[in-house]
Amino acid sequence: MPEKIPADSVGLVEPKKLHFDEPLPLDCGRTLDEYDLVYETYGELNAARTNAVLVCHALSGDHHAAGYHSMADRKPGWWENCIGPGKPIDTRRFHVVCCNNLGGCKGSTGPNTINPKTGRHYGPDFPIVTVRDWVRSQARLADRLGIERWAAVVGGSLGGMQAMQWAIDFPERLAHAVVIAAAPRLSAQNIAFNEVARQAILSDPDFHEGRYYDHGVVPRRGLMLARMLGHITYLSDDAMRAKFGRELREGKLNFNFDVEFQVESYLRYQGRAFVERFDANTYLLMTKALDYFDPAADYGGSLAEAFRRARARFLVVSFTSDWRFSPARSREIVKALLDADRDVTYAEIEAHQGHDAFLMPIPRYVAAFGAYMQRVAREVGAP
Amino acid sequence: MPEKIPADSVGLVEPKKLHFDEPLPLDCGRTLDEYDLVYETYGELNAARTNAVLVCHALSGDHHAAGYHSMADRKPGWWENCIGPGKPIDTRRFHVVCCNNLGGCKGSTGPNTINPKTGRHYGPDFPIVTVRDWVRSQARLADRLGIERWAAVVGGSLGGMQAMQWAIDFPERLAHAVVIAAAPRLSAQNIAFNEVARQAILSDPDFHEGRYYDHGVVPRRGLMLARMLGHITYLSDDAMRAKFGRELREGKLNFNFDVEFQVESYLRYQGRAFVERFDANTYLLMTKALDYFDPAADYGGSLAEAFRRARARFLVVSFTSDWRFSPARSREIVKALLDADRDVTYAEIEAHQGHDAFLMPIPRYVAAFGAYMQRVAREVGAP
């Protein structure tokens, strides 16, 4: 619990919800007839409505990007390090919007919400949604909020993919795209990790083909394994070495299968905690959205061709020790943008934290990201 | 099935078994009162008994390192690429011995064999064995075979760790140690991957605390997940890209959770096939042996100090794209050997296959390995 909310936090915030009645056609060929989107906003929208920034969340994220829901909250939103007064996305200047994506599990329509047609949880009947679908739904949210054009669409990892897709699909509706620790599409290895995570969930006897809500259980073993595996790919080998080394929890080998090394303790804790706060069907959907993301595919396999539609200017950021989406993958994005004659700034940040670095207050990252956003603010006439 | 066994194969081979009555004290503090070791040999032992080579197997390997058990075998032994007439471990010159390690599942005493004290499978009662324990048992095997001193002890991955341990624990009993694609000890990330694999098995409802033999089931979901995950770490990102890319099995997205990408199909196949041939309790034991391996720990944390006991000369080999045990880890071994003033040859092989490269017929690898072994042969007076 924060005894006192820090001065550089957006403070107490409250999620809002909007209901959408207009059917949303999806990439899979199906249509969502109606849906809710839960979102939060931080900072004031200026009179000219030019200072809005859309923050897109990653695999296990949600709409709660910054601030606290109550004084009892132990932790702030997931991007507290980058959103707030004086932070890279400076809420004294920008009006920030962040929504829980469709298929999520924190209030927006998804597998754990009730399907109005059946009166039961959607569960496995919820369609597989894509980054494109999310961007389409976010554009509708922007319409409803009266935001014609974002000063920037910003995201890390899967969030960065949404920023790219925005620039391609709605070129006139954003001035800048900030793409952090992302990739133009997943590698076979990335897909392989997702597939093992999915198999862990799908093969859990408590999964009940996705209808576990009706059985009063959750596939906790599977979701825990998926999260443990995910965590390995979020941290670099070096970060793990620095954090855990080969430290033994009890100082000696036990010669059994209980927790022995600190890293085991950490992973089991992370896995267990995740089960309490996340839905297994949503995890499956998010990994599929990652696997399917491939904006070049719509343009003859050429990412540069895809980017030729874009009008936004780009900031691309990568981290040296990120092996999930390595700097080489960000450089592919930069190269395609240059080939398409787009305006791009690229920052490769020396950091040992691995993929997780995009969430951390790393001084050079914060400085580069903040400087870019200050230029954006000046340009859009933010206060 | 080989229509005809290739001329450079050791041909048809037969496993042998030896029973050991002398109790074997183990690192865990317990004792194995009696045990069997299953092994194979290829090539003739010379009259002076100087040309014997011990091949040590890795996590999922066994005593069947080369040749075929019958004309109906679809595949030869696991190191067919490196053992045989004219191959790096040339069976025209060397007498090769390879045993299934204690705790294994291919005939040597392990969880899936009968505990003479109870008349039931050992299962979870089988002690957690270490690389040191294996080396001790292999030394007894050498005694029984009348091999006072190995021309070389050779292994890849976990096998390479056994070669190192031999050099430290029985300095007078080997002339050379060949350590391929290994590490002086596991990193936190390595342990983390092992821990996820173990949790997959331990949390499978069919595991029954390791007594699944009594229930007529096997924890196939867990073992399959463990193997799928293992496979990701055996292949490099590049190798996966080269092998599978983002190819779709049916040429289009399905928008469901069936197999879509070729890499998913491959992993599921590998996982399923492994369940048919491997025991889950053995998998658990092997991962623990990996986690525990740390020869420096007995010498105040100094690997160089450990190696000061060694009398063998060393060949250390690594592969550029191996991220499980990267060249940096092999260079740690080389540095410690140099610090200990030992004789070491180091070959860092350009290869895109990842950790699996040590099993592959990569020309520069085969050439370097073969040249070294020829020197060994000349030196020990092999024919």
Helix axis angle, B158-169 to B280-292, nearest 10°: 50
Give the pairing type, strands A24-25 and A344-349: unpaired
Instruction: Scan for tokens 């959907």, then name that residue.
Output: A285
- pLDDT (mean) for A136-160: 98
E strand or H helix at B192, and its extent? helix B188-202
Kindly give the residue spans of alpha helices, DSSP state H, lying in chain A: 131-145, 158-169, 188-202, 212-215, 220-234, 237-243, 262-277, 280-292, 303-307, 327-339, 363-379
Across all residues in chain A, what is the average pLDDT?
Answer: 96
Q: How many contacts does A have with B, using Cβ atoms within 8 A?
A: 141
- pLDDT (mean) for A73-79: 95
Helix, strand, or coil (residue A340)? coil
**Is B176 known to be catalytic?**
no
Task: Please judge whether B199 and A294 are an interchain contact, meaning their C-beta atoms are less than 8 angstroms apart.
Answer: no
pLDDT digits (tens, 9 = 90+) for B196-241: 999 999 999 999 999 999 999 999 999 999 999 999 999 999 999 9
Helix axis angle, B220-234 to B262-277, nearest 10°: 120
Across all residues in chain B, what is the average pLDDT?
Answer: 96
By the 8 A CB rule, do A354 and A231 touch?
no
- Name the nearest CA neighbour of B103 among B291, B289, B292: B289
Task: Please judge whether A205 and B200 are an interchain contact, meaning their C-beta atoms are less than 8 angstroms apart.
Answer: no
Q: Evaluate if residue B245 carries a pLDDT over 90.
A: no
Share of chain A above pLDDT 70, in %: 99
Predicted pLDDT at B251: 84
Q: What percent helix, strand, coil does chain A show, rounded to 5?
A: 40, 15, 45
Q: How far is B163 from chain A (nearest CA, A)?
A: 22
* Cα–Cα distance list, A6 to A84, A129, A363, B12 (Å): 10, 37, 19, 74
Model-level pTM? 0.96
Q: Evaluate if residue B249 carries a pLDDT over 90.
A: no
Instruction: Check CB contact of A328 with chain B, cutoff 8 Å.
Output: no
Predicted pLDDT at B2: 65
**Is B265 known to be catalytic?**
no
By the 8 A CB rule, do B35 and B22 touch?
no
- CB contacts of A268 in chain B (<8 Å) are 195, 199
- pLDDT (mean) for A192-216: 97
**DSSP of A223-261:** HHHHHHHHHHHHS-HHHHHHHTTT-BTTSS--SSSS--B
pLDDT digits (tens, 9 = 90+) for B83-93: 999 999 999 99
Q: What are phi and psi of B24, to 5 degrees?
A: -110, 110
Helix, strand, or coil (residue A183)? coil
Instruction: Check CB contact of A243 with chain B, cutoff 8 Å.
Output: yes
Task: Please judge whether B263 and A192 are an interchain contact, meaning their C-beta atoms are less than 8 angstroms apart.
Answer: yes
pLDDT band at B250 (very low <50, low <70, confident <90, very high): confident
Give per-residue burial for B167-188: e unless 16+ CB within 10 Å, then b: bbbbeebbbbbbbbbbbbbbbb
Q: What was the ipTM of the complex prediction? A: 0.94
By the 8 A CB rule, do A261 and B291 touch?
yes
- CB contacts of A257 in chain B (<8 Å) are 198, 202, 284, 288
Catalytic residue among B60, B108, B157, B326: B157
**Is B322 known to be catalytic?**
yes
- pLDDT (mean) for A174-203: 97
Catalytic residue among A9, A157, A318, A321: A157
Share of chain B above pLDDT 70, in %: 99
